[in-house]
Amino acid sequence: MKKALLLLALSVAAVLALQIFSLAAQDAQCGTVDVIQFPVDTATFQMVQGFGVPSPRHNGRYHSGEDWFGGRDTSLGQPVEAIARGRVTYSSPRAWGRDGGVVIIEHLMPDGSTIYSLYGHLMERGDILFPARYTCVEIGQIIGAIADVRPAPHVHFEIRVSGSDLPGAGYEWEDPRTLGLREPSAFITDWLAWLSAAHEWHITFADAPRAAPLLLNDNSLLTLNGPYLRRVLPDGRILWRSALEKTTVGIVGFEGAPLLVFSDGTLQRVDYDGNLGESWSLQTTFDSPPLALGDGRHVLHTADNALIAVSANWREIVWRLEGVRPYLRAYAGTDLLAFVSVDHEALLVSREGQRIGRAQLRADGAFAADVAYTRGGLWRISPDGDWTLAVDVVSQSNDARALAVRGSSVYGFDGRAFFAYNDQLLSWQAPLFSQQPLLGWAQLTLLENTLLLISASGHAAAVAAADGTFCASLRVWNTDAQALLWHNLGSDGLLRLMIGSTLFALDWEEFSC
């Protein structure tokens, strides 16, 4: 009897092991994701209900995915495609009853993680059948058609970290992020970037950055996100994390080592291992990151609405300008400093702390050297604060503007196109790489022979400074129109960038022109 039971147990174990091996083999056979896309064409479909949005139709429950709609009388019957290669783990044309069927696909990502994409409100039609469970699909493979569902035909799209065979209801009483669901557009957008040839590594922080990172001599970084100071190694690994007890506004290089700038006016040395050292106070309070003037001095805004300039040794306040309200952005030019408020007022200050003048801009502007780019055109600003129209580049849009200057050449971006002027004559003009204009603010920098654009819309792009030829672009997910933008090209050939809470590195030789 015992022998029979033992044989039975061994037989069951063998069958289970065979099934597990078979499923694992199928998963391996389906392959790792190396390219990704949206399930529908985002140029013709629009998102009509976003992720995590409370729904009045469903008693305030949170939407667990995104609804994509192709337009009146055009969505019904449109094909829906797999976002990437993977293995079908659920497939039922009747999963949601009158609200259509559901397909779930398992994807093995290059970082070793497993995610699931769910497609709801689907149907079969004569030439389109649901894929069979446990079969492999490839990116772009049609897995169903949009069904005739309430309130109008659309596809419900989810990204999950679990729930391989649970179609769910499309709505949750709890925040879907806490239930293993992810924002689909953010996931797809980021992975389009991470799968690009230039991508080396990335980190997405839970907290927004307090200030720009500091690149160290060994190409590692110190970052300030939320209350934490972190050291990020050159290859993107986080070596350590230290919780700071006080609020920081910046971290700068000082005498070959990092220096923390706290909002209470304290300055404190910190070493590469995160150990805090000597500290001293400037007896004031800060509410802005430090603006480097390029000569060792820094300018900061104080909580009592003043501008102060701090000496190169960070021990003295060399000038103070009263009556300066908080600003959105600050620029250090050749002769002047520009501080732009949220309502587009530009305050001009000399590098020695004299108030030069104010200018009310009609929309957001950009400054570089002694040039300003506004809706009215390109302007030269004298040390006395006189504005002279240099080029009548009229833009009626309120899209992103950015500016870079090298010698007599002025390079610009207006949210829709790049351009270059030399001695006030147009050298070239090149259209935007994207179908949609870039919104939010942007930065334009000349690195070697490449113009690098980074924007709060999450884009990073490279165009040739000589003629505007498009070279490369990618986008990371960011929804903050005023997000922190930062970049630095290391001696190791990696371009490190921060857009909002995302820090990432690109192979500059691969990405540049």
Report how far Cα 452 is from the mean position of its chain's Cα atoms: 15
pLDDT at position 12? 43
pLDDT at position 399? 65
Q: Domain with 126 in it: what CATH number?
A: 2.70.70.10
| Cα dihedral sign, 127-128-129-131 | positive
Contact 390, 379 (CB under 8 A): yes
The verdict on residue 262 lying in a domain is: no
Element (H, E) at 105: strand 101-108
Joined together, the tokens standing for residue 302 give 């104080």
Angstrom distance (rounded) from CA 272 to CA 252? 13
Angstrom distance (rounded) from CA 319 to CA 57? 59
Range of the domain at 60: 29-183
Angstrom distance (rounded) from CA 179 to CA 449? 47
Q: Compute CA distances 379 → 189, 367, 373, 424, 442, whole Å.
A: 37, 9, 6, 11, 19
pLDDT at position 367? 95
Angstrom distance (rounded) from CA 207 to CA 288? 18
Report how far Cα 314 is from the mean position of its chain's Cα atoms: 33
CB atoms within 10 A of CB 300: 25
Angstrom distance (rounded) from CA 290 to CA 301? 8
Element (H, E) at 13: helix 2-30
Which amino acid belongs to residue 175? D
The verdict on residue 47 lying in a domain is: yes
pLDDT at position 56? 84
Q: Compute CA distances 296 → 256, 265, 311, whole Å.
A: 12, 18, 7
Report how far Cα 238 is from the mean position of its chain's Cα atoms: 19
Q: Number of structural domains, the chain?
A: 1
Contact 308, 302 (CB under 8 A): yes
pLDDT at position 60? 86
pLDDT at position 439? 77
pLDDT at position 438? 81
CA-based angle 329:356:300, to the nearest 5? 40
Phi, psi of 128 (to 5 degrees): -130, 120
pLDDT at position 28? 65
| CA contacts within 13 A on the Cβ side of 485 | 25
Question: Is the entire prediction scored with pTM above 0.85?
Answer: yes
Contact 457, 438 (CB under 8 A): yes
Contact 412, 419 (CB under 8 A): yes
The verdict on residue 92 lying in a domain is: yes
Which amino acid belongs to residue 173? W
The verdict on residue 33 lying in a domain is: yes
The verdict on residue 34 lying in a domain is: yes
The verdict on residue 165 lying in a domain is: yes
The verdict on residue 464 lying in a domain is: no
Contact 492, 500 (CB under 8 A): no
pLDDT at position 15? 43
Angstrom distance (rounded) from CA 56 to CA 73? 25
The verdict on residue 96 lying in a domain is: yes
Output the tens digit of pLDDT for each of the chain's 513 residues: 445 444 444 454 544 444 444 444 445 689 999 999 999 999 999 999 999 999 888 788 999 999 999 988 899 999 999 999 999 999 999 999 999 999 999 999 999 999 999 999 999 998 999 999 999 999 999 999 999 998 899 999 999 999 999 999 898 999 999 999 999 999 999 999 999 999 999 999 999 999 999 999 999 999 999 999 999 999 999 999 999 999 999 999 999 999 999 999 999 999 999 999 999 999 999 999 999 999 999 999 999 999 999 999 999 999 999 999 999 999 999 999 999 999 999 999 999 999 999 999 988 889 999 999 998 899 999 999 999 999 987 665 666 789 999 999 999 999 889 999 999 899 999 998 877 778 789 999 999 999 999 999 999 999 999 999 999 999 999 999 899 999 999 999 999 999 999 999 999 999 999
Rg (C-alpha) for the chain, rounded Å, is 27
Phi, psi of 113 (to 5 degrees): -80, 160
